[in-house]
């Protein structure tokens, strides 16, 4: 009877069966996310230090700012996933509990802020009249804002002794403080990303209109742009709204198993979901699995080592959407080659290979694009 009572104490405020289900779910989803985000960091590091990984179809080794931002997001996701995967096991020891709470607060907030920085970088590159060189020169400010801001908030909670058992894992013990010191910033980030991507979308549509292409020729691009940018916002909201709802329930009526289960199912999965929408894991997963099983290369036998046969070198690697923000001075396309000042003029020092090419479709042959600097007018599929 004494042993049973002790077990119930460890499981509270849930039954032991519910506790075990929550622990198993958090460990599983956290591990999946750690693997996915770790794969992005590993691919980037391998290609920068050793050489291209042909099976991914993505040249992470190129010194693209957007790649570096996605890798920074993946790095934060990786460590957040590890702390999520620990689950309530950290509550068994006060020191481990405080460390887990600090880790979740710091790295989870970092993922939120990095998502904002990716949206801001996309916006600045497309809408603001800044050159790509200027954007790269202020990249250090992104790191200061993200890591510094997350550290300040994490230390603030630590200084007030706020870390403790948060029902699902060790985090901020006070239900009201969870909202004020985390989810308020998440909701502000939702609003910021929605505004930045909407503004960027309007600028892109305006530029497509200014190219004087037929509506039928630009409509596929409009659809792909809308879908991709919308997906960024939808996934970001989806990741955290489940947790917000559960924490609001905790604040008002206490714990409930069903929303808690959804919480540990979705929130620790953020590394995997971010990897799919920002890192292109979902698009490249079939080729990666095929390579592991059969040894076949992504581009098939006889394909050249550098890239598959395409009409342009920049379309060869089918970059993910954040990469296009880095290689974009968006909306500067003019069929006569002159820059369009309605969105921003191209800087003369920008290299030709960094010319704007918006390939929203993530198709292996890069068939849909809008380009500048004399690229043939090919706003439609080949």
> In this predicted structure, what is the pLDDT of residue 229?
84
- Residue 128's CB is within 10 A of a number of other CB atoms, namely 13
> In this predicted structure, what is the pLDDT of residue 212?
58
Q: Give the H/E segment covering residue 245.
A: helix 215-252
Tell whether the model's pLDDT for residue 193 goes beyond 90.
yes
Measured CA to CA in angstroms, residue 60 lies from 124, 128, 355 at distances of 22, 26, 18
| Residue-wise pLDDT tens digits, 203-222 | 888 877 776 556 667 677 77
Nearest to 261 by CA among 24, 12, 10, 11: 24
Tell whether the model's pLDDT for residue 22 goes beyond 90.
yes
> d(Cα 219, Cα 29) in Å, to the nearest integer?
38
| Residue-wise pLDDT tens digits, 45-76 | 877 777 665 544 445 445 577 788 889 999 99
Measured CA to CA in angstroms, residue 325 lies from 92, 121, 328, 357, 374 at distances of 45, 7, 5, 9, 19
> In this predicted structure, what is the pLDDT of residue 240?
95
Helix and strand numbers, DSSP H then E, in the chain: 14, 2
CB-based contacts of 155, cutoff 8 Å, min separation 6: none
| Residue-wise pLDDT tens digits, 83-109 | 999 998 877 777 889 999 999 999 999
DSSP 3-state percent helix, strand, coil across the chain (nearest 5): 65, 0, 30
User: Hey, what are 271's tokens?
Assistant: 């590394």
Length of the chain: 382
> d(Cα 80, Cα 105) in Å, to the nearest integer?
8
| Residue-wise pLDDT tens digits, 219-270 | 777 787 788 888 889 999 999 999 999 999 999 998 999 999 999 999 999 9
Comparison of pLDDT for 18 and 279, the residue scoring more: 18
């Amino acid at each position: 009877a004494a042993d049973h009572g002790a077990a119930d104490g460890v499981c509270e405020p849930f039954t032991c069966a519910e506790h075990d289900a929550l622990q198993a779910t958090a460990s599983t989803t956290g591990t999946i996310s750690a693997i996915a985000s770790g794969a992005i960091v590993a691919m980037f590091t391998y290609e920068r230090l050793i050489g291209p990984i042909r099976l991914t179809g993505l040249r992470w080794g190129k010194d693209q700012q957007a790649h570096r931002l996605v890798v920074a997001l993946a790095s934060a996701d990786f460590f957040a996933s590890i702390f999520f995967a620990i689950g309530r096991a950290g509550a068994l020891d006060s020191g481990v509990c405080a460390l887990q709470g600090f880790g979740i607060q710091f790295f989870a907030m970092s993922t939120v802020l990095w998502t904002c920085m990716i949206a801001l970088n996309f916006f600045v590159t497309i809408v603001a009249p800044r050159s790509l060189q200027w954007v790269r020169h202020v990249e250090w400010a992104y790191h200061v804002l993200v890591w510094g801001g997350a550290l300040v908030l994490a230390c603030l909670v630590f200084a007030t002794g706020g870390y403790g058992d948060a029902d699902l894992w060790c985090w901020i013990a006070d239900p009201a403080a969870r909202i004020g010191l985390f989810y308020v910033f998440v909701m502000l980030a939702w609003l910021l990303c929605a505004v930045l991507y909407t503004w960027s979308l309007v600028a892109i549509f305006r530029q497509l209109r200014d190219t004087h292409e037929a509506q039928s020729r630009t409509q596929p691009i409009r659809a792909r742009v809308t879908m991709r940018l919308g997906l960024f916002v939808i996934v970001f909201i989806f990741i955290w709204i489940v947790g917000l709802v559960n924490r609001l329930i905790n604040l008002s009526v206490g714990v409930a198993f069903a929303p808690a289960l959804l919480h540990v199912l979705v929130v620790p999965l953020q590394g995997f979901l971010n990897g799919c929408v920002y890192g292109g894991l979902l698009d490249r997963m079939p080729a990666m699995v095929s390579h592991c099983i059969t040894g076949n290369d992504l581009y098939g036998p006889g394909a050249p080592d550098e890239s598959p046969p395409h009409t342009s070198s920049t379309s060869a690697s089918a970059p993910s959407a954040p990469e296009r923000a880095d290689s974009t001075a968006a909306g500067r396309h003019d069929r006569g080659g002159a820059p369009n000042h309605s969105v921003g003029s191209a800087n003369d020092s920008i290299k030709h290979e960094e010319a704007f090419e918006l390939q929203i479709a993530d198709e292996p042959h890069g068939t849909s694009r809008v380009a500048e600097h004399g690229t043939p007018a090919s706003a439609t599929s080949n």
